[in-house]
Amino acid sequence: MTEGTRMAAGLDQRTRDTLLAAGMVLPAILYIVLLLGVPIALAIYYSLSDVTTGGGMVHFVGLSNFTALLQNPDFIGAIGNTLLITVATLIGTLILAVIQAELLARPFRGKWVVRFLILLPWTAPASLSVIAWLWMLDSTFSPYDWLLRELGLLGHPGALLGPFSNMYWLGRSGLAMFSIILVNVWRMLPLATVIILAGLNGMPRDIYEQAQIDGAGYFRRLFQVVFPILYPVFGVTILFTFVFTFTDIVTVYILTRGGPANSTQVLTTLAFFTGVQGGALGRGAAIAIFLLPILAAVSIVILAFIRRREI
């Protein structure tokens, strides 16, 4: 075989490898373009127009939808509620996930049963699990209210939680917000626990054992040895929890629908009620588009932190 023939054969092999790589990547590119790119482009177009569900002529209105939103107190309140729910869920999830992962990293009998029970909230369909919480937080038949009454904390004069027979979890603004955060933490905790547990299991044990030999106590080993090594893992946990909670619509929509009196309204539900149920697609798309820069900024900061810690 001459040198030219060998070069041609090598070129053909490289061409086949390139075509194979392109064929493997193409489905992912199509998925991103069709299911993410097209809806985002359409939402941007809608947000700059006065399109409605009633049809008719569509006119370009520029940034007037965004200007009107900044003057809408419901929109400003939805931003605050979204950030409050996201940050509170993030803090609660991270603290509880660290505790659960630390406990699950230790050997004990029945560990697989405990892991199975911890993963149940994540494997169950979100709508079904939140509907179950809707029943447990019911204003009349809540089992939590029954338990509080049996403990003497509710339902009689002088009771710690008040003389009423029920707490009305979803009927009071403060309790409704607390209920949403509670359900979000319950939903996000399994994923966060699995991520942190994977980081604990992958941590070099010799460093931990050396600190133990040197006489470092449990909390000193935890805060000065374990946590610094797991900072990138914490970053991944924070990123997933933030994105899933910030863009979630299921919990608020099923539990409170933004009530009472819009006290738990978030950006996702406000966009749905405005654009779909209210018919103002342009205004609803503008609310949805508002999520993008916040998500992009937080994602860039967290990913930069993870990369910096890994280096």
Residue 45: count other Cβ atoms within 10 Å of its Cβ: 14
The pLDDT value given to residue 3: 53
The pLDDT value given to residue 53: 79
Residue 280: count other Cβ atoms within 10 Å of its Cβ: 22
State how far the Cα of 303 lies from the Cα of 311, in Å rounded to an integer. 12
pTM for the predicted model, two decimal places: 0.85
State how far the Cα of 116 lies from the Cα of 110, in Å rounded to an integer. 10
The pLDDT value given to residue 265: 93
State how far the Cα of 89 lies from the Cα of 83, in Å rounded to an integer. 10
Q: What percent of the chain has pLDDT over 70?
A: 93
Identify whether 18 is part of a domain.
no
State how far the Cα of 287 lies from the Cα of 274, in Å rounded to an integer. 9
Work out how many domains the chain is built from and give that number: 1
H helices then E strands: how many in the chain?
A: 16, 0
Identify whether 122 is part of a domain.
yes
Mean model confidence pLDDT for the chain: 84
Taking CA 201 as the corner, what is the angle to CA 199 and CA 202, rounded to the nearest 5 degrees?
A: 65
Confirm if 111 and 104 have CB atoms less than 8 A apart: yes
Tell me the mean pLDDT in the region 100-118: 81
Identify whether 77 is part of a domain.
yes
Pick from 61-70, 112-121, 171-180, 273-282: least confident: 112-121
Give the type of residue at 223.
F
Identify whether 158 is part of a domain.
yes
State how far the Cα of 112 lies from the Cα of 104, in Å rounded to an integer. 9
Which stretch of DSSP H or E encloses residue 148? helix 143-150
List pLDDT tens digits, range 195-211: 888 888 877 777 767 77
Specify the CATH number for the domain of residue 123: 1.10.3720.10
Q: Coil, helix or strand for 170?
A: coil
Identify whether 293 is part of a domain.
yes
Confirm if 171 and 82 have CB atoms less than 8 A apart: no
List pLDDT tens digits, range 41-66: 888 888 888 888 777 777 888 888 88
The pLDDT value given to residue 4: 52
The pLDDT value given to residue 11: 54
Please determine, for residue 261, whether its predicted confidence score (pLDDT) is greater than 90. no
List pLDDT tens digits, range 151-186: 888 888 888 888 888 888 898 889 999 999 999 999
Identify whether 270 is part of a domain.
yes
What is the distance, to the nearest Å, from the Cα of residue 193 to the centroid of all Cα atoms in its chain?
Answer: 14
Question: For 106, which DSSP code?
Answer: S
Identify whether 32 is part of a domain.
no
State how far the Cα of 240 lies from the Cα of 259, in Å rounded to an integer. 27
CA dihedral 144, 81, 100, 300 (to 10 degrees): 170
The pLDDT value given to residue 269: 93
The first and second tokens of residue 113, run together, are 């049963």
More confident residue, 11 or 268: 268
**Exposed e or buried b per residue across 247-265, where buried means at least 16 C-beta atoms within 10 angstroms of its C-beta:** ebebbbbbbbebeeebebb
Domain span at residue 137 reads 73-310
The pLDDT value given to residue 252: 93
Please determine, for residue 221, whether its predicted confidence score (pLDDT) is greater than 60. yes
Identify whether 196 is part of a domain.
yes
List pLDDT tens digits, range 121-154: 877 888 888 999 999 998 888 898 889 888 888 8
What is the distance, to the nearest Å, from the Cα of residue 202 to the centroid of all Cα atoms in its chain?
Answer: 25
